[in-house]
Chain A
Amino acid sequence: MTLARENLRDATPVAADRAARFAAEGLGKAFSGVPVLADVSFTLRAGEVLALLGENGAGKSTLSALIAGLLRPDGGTMRWEGRPYAPASPGEAMAAGIGLIHQEMRLLPDLSIAENVFAGRLPMRGGRVDRALMNQRARAQLQRLGLDVAPTQLVRRLRVAAQQQVEIAKALTQNARLLILDEPTAALGGAESERLFAQIEQLRGEGVSFLYISHRLEEIARIADRVIVLRDGALVARHDTARVPVSTLLRDMVGRSIERIFPPLAPPAAREVLRVEALCAARGAFRDIGFAVHAGEVLGIAGIVGAGRSELVRAIYGADRIASGRLLLEGKPQHIAGPRDAIRAGIVLVPEDRKGQGVLLDQSLARNLTLGNLDRLAPDGWLRPARLRRFAAALIARLGVKGRPEQAARALSGGNQQKMVIARWLARAPKLFILDEPTRGIDVGARAAIYHLIADLAGAGMAVIIVSSELEEVLGLSHRILVLSRGRQMGILDRAEADSVAVMRLATG
């Protein structure tokens, strides 16, 4: 767990690479003063596949956004085909020959494949769109990728994999010579991934370069020539071959960075609070999940983006439907049809998206805090304003939320908003407390306060489940860790045997 921070930047300095087609030198980017990318330098040659690795939030997406012209760097320079390169927009980047294929497709679903491929630059003849030419050129491009679909087909009807191919075809018709693929296989099945790899092989033979972003380490050795690793916005490792042991890559990705102090956890009680048996999601986000959580225990749920972590806890809370499986609370089977049932049974959730799911931004703290407690505060349905005020003021004081009861929630910092969402449920003394991404978007100082709150919940005898994209957080705060990958339960690790490498190995399996 305690890995010294390697600083490979000095060990292998960027040589003046004359063969480089693309070079980044000292790229940096900060959002509202918080650096998310610092001093990143690397090169990429013609026909080369460079893998870009890193944990969630390491800065991969920011880096690709800088290269593709979606963001502008605060510091550093880029060179492209021998000339300085500073795209002001994605359009400029595309015109220069650099295309970004997003994780989520950004196609127009109700237009045809050909119309999407040529969106914004439809071939014209005599003031009208030359459909014959457009379809013919789109078909040629699709065939180059080995796709046998009609260019007139609506994109809405295509599978995700095919939509991705349309994105690639679109970039290729614009003569892209560098393609940035952001998690291209995240939504693909095995055969579809194979086809993508074959296409990458073919295109690199034609001189196209790739920046390949992925979590799936086994893919890297197959298709990449070289590997760079980002961690906390810094380039921490550079491997000139893709034949690097997976364990080395994992250590590069997760190596302990910012020193964090997690509160000590008391051992859990033997009493079982929640038991989940063979739980399957209605929409296939996860299947066959089974575990138990005990009183005073913190169970962490780890996994990469898209593994089904949030979907699992939302299903336990009744926010999403389940197809099959059982939930037992203190040994009794529960039928939970919605969050209302869950709350009554003693299950509460601090949701993943604070602003969209947790907080009424334009309403007062008092209203936010009494939300979800009106059944207790007004058992006969009649609100007593003085009682509501006292209730809110007491919670604000108890958790040290920096704000007044009548203040709008929007005015609070992320950390204080999050405390407020946690506080909302405290008064109910729930049996099971679920927190999904409890520290997302919260600055480091406020995190410690949230960590202590979580430890206190367990200390008070509640069963706690936390979901976090930050591995360190899951490791530091949990008694046991359940690891998900592509909706499957890969295993449950005890605190003693869990380290970041072990968890990542399961999560990327």
Chain B
Amino acid sequence: MSATAPAGPAQGFLRRRIAGAQGPLVGLIVLCVAFSLASPVFLSLRNALNVIDQITVLGILAIGMTGVIVIGGIDLSVGAILALATMTMGWMSRDFALPFPLCIALALLAGAAAGLVNGLLVTRARLPAFIATLTMMSVARGLANLTTDGEQVVGFPDWFTRLSTVRHFGVLSITVTLFIALALAATVFLNFRAGGRSLYAIGGSAEVARLAGIAVRRLTLLVYVMSGLLAAVAGIALAARLDSAQPSDGLGYELDTIAAVVIGGASLAGGVGGIGGTVVGVLIIGVLHNGLNLVGVSPFVQQVVIGLVIAAAVTADTLRRQEG
């Protein structure tokens, strides 16, 4: 990057975004090169689209999680909220025969409501985010099971499953397009809106931010509501892809999501992170799974590899910061 000539403001912004994700980006490129050499199938449009299809759910969750981690919080409940949302949708459709768009709206509402409860527990009851969202993780998962007494719901309208299966122009499904649009919107919010910028101040020090007149409570609430809402969106995307909804959907996704955000360069201490880095982090996890599958590495070994990658990414990041 240092060889590039000084750029104007617009280019400068892009350059900084890319530079911010530099470490993880280099890792992603190295992975892609390595898998291209190891497998003849890896470097093809078809496989690339596969990877993107596979990371859409994780990616949508990670957008919400980035906001939470930037303010120095954590959200352990996104996997469970995802399940609550898909089950709400399936249950309303199957048992109450509500029009399907209304079922989707209710699913979104359920996700946002769960996020709101998280936010209120953090800002009003003053629970640590870890505890508040741990509570919600249990409650939302339980509610997801209660809707249909643990049964899965199979069979959605054709137009709904097509959202994720039909690739328009041979490339983008609606769900993937939605993920990209959400990522862009979040990038704009975090970088060009006063509210987004304030999240970094809260993560840097909530007390400094409060004394500087930032509406810390309101923004914290907003961040948790968005995380819940995006978990619901992710749940709907997952249901479209699987053509079913199960109470066990999204089990353990919260940790994959946190891993992706952290691999992308965000700090769990707050104040640092961005959508660019997060998307790279999500891609690293997606490419790793995909590449290791193609090479024929067992899923158990994959888990080990992912764990090592998290350790390596955070270690590299820490070292880089100490030097800088």
On A, residues with C-beta under 8 Å from B are 317, 319, 338-340, 342-344, 349, 351, 356-363, 367, 370-372, 374-375, 377-378, 381-383, 385-386, 424
Contacts and interface: CB of A to CB of B under 8 A. Distances in A.
13 contacts: A319-B211, A357-B207, A358-B211, A360-B201, A361-B204, A362-B204, A362-B272, A371-B212, A374-B194, A378-B193, A381-B193, A382-B193, A385-B13
Contacts of B205: 356-357, 360-361
A343 B197 CA distance: 19
B208 interface: yes
A278 B181 CA distance: 56
B215 A340 contact: yes
- For chain B, the bracket of interface size reads 20 to 34
Contacts of A370: 197
B219 to A, nearest CB: 12
B193 A363 contact: no
B204 A363 contact: yes
Contacts of A363: 200-201, 204, 271
Contacts of A360: 201, 204-205, 208-209, 271
Interface in B249-280: 271-272
B213 interface: yes
Given A359-B208, A383-B193, A385-B192, 15 more contacts: A351-B211, A356-B207, A356-B208, A357-B205, A357-B208, A360-B201, A363-B201, A363-B271, A371-B209, A374-B194, A374-B197, A375-B194, A378-B193, A381-B193, A383-B192
B204 A424 contact: no
Nearest to A360: B204
B195 interface: yes
Interface of B: 9, 13, 191-195, 197-198, 200-201, 204-205, 207-215, 271-272
Contact of B208 (A340, A358, A375, A386): A358
The 8 A-B pairs of least Cβ separation, nearest first, read: A360-B204, A372-B212, A343-B213, A374-B194, A340-B213, A378-B194, A371-B212, A383-B192
Given A363-B271, A378-B194, A339 B210 contact: yes
Nearest to A343: B213
Contacts of A338: 210
Nearest to B217: A338
Contacts of A362: 204, 271-272
Nearest to A359: B208
Given A362-B272, A367-B201, A381-B195, A339 B208 contact: no
A500 B36 CA distance: 78
Contacts of A386: 9
A453 to B, nearest CB: 19
Contacts of A361: 204-205
B57 to A, nearest CB: 30
Contacts of B198: 374
B317 to A, nearest CB: 14
Contacts of B209: 360, 371
A386 to B, nearest CB: 6
A424 B212 contact: yes
A367 B212 CA distance: 12
A432 to B, nearest CB: 14
A382 B194 CA distance: 6
A381 B208 contact: no
A462 to B, nearest CB: 18
B213 A339 contact: yes
A378 B13 CA distance: 18
A95 B211 CA distance: 45
Given A357-B208, A385-B13, A424-B212, A371 B201 contact: yes
Contacts of B193: 378, 381-383
B198 to A, nearest CB: 7
B200 A339 contact: no
A460 B166 CA distance: 67
A367 B210 contact: no
B9 A385 contact: yes
Taking each of A340, A349, A361, A370, which has the highest tally of chain B beta carbons within 10 Å of its own beta carbon? A340
Nearest to B192: A383
B192 A382 contact: yes
Nearest to A380: B194
Nearest to B269: A362
A367 B200 contact: yes
Nearest to A383: B192
B13 A357 contact: no
A375 B194 CA distance: 8
Contacts of B212: 339, 343, 371-372, 424
A375 B209 CA distance: 14
